[in-house]
Amino acid sequence: MSQQRLHLVFGGELIDPTKNAFKDVDDIHIVGMFPNYEAAFNAWKAEAQRTVDNAHMRYFIAHIHRLRDEEQPASSTEELG
């Protein structure tokens, strides 16, 4: 079985379009979790095009698979749980 490369697509309205701080984190739009970059990119592109008229709206792709590598020892915060 091949390793999954999970990607999260999310976005929302930014305070300032030149920065990456959301205006309201309670209003972040979670588009979804995708099994590969291609699927995530397609979802990201669709949302970016849908909101193109609002300069403050921005969507991102988070590389979830990079957050945890099973081969690496757990971090100290993971050990607390």
What is the model's pTM?
0.77
Q: What is the mean pLDDT of the chain?
A: 86
Mean pLDDT across the stretch 57-79? 72
Helices (H), the chain: 37-50, 76-80
Mean pLDDT across the stretch 68-73? 61
Q: How confident is the model at residue 52 (pLDDT cuts 50, 70, 90)?
A: very high
Q: Name the class of domain 7-80.
A: alpha beta
* 76 pLDDT more than 90: no
Domain boundaries in the chain?
A: 7-80
- For residue 15, the model assigns a pLDDT of 96
Taking a C-beta distance cutoff of 8 angstroms, is the pair 36, 11 a contact? no
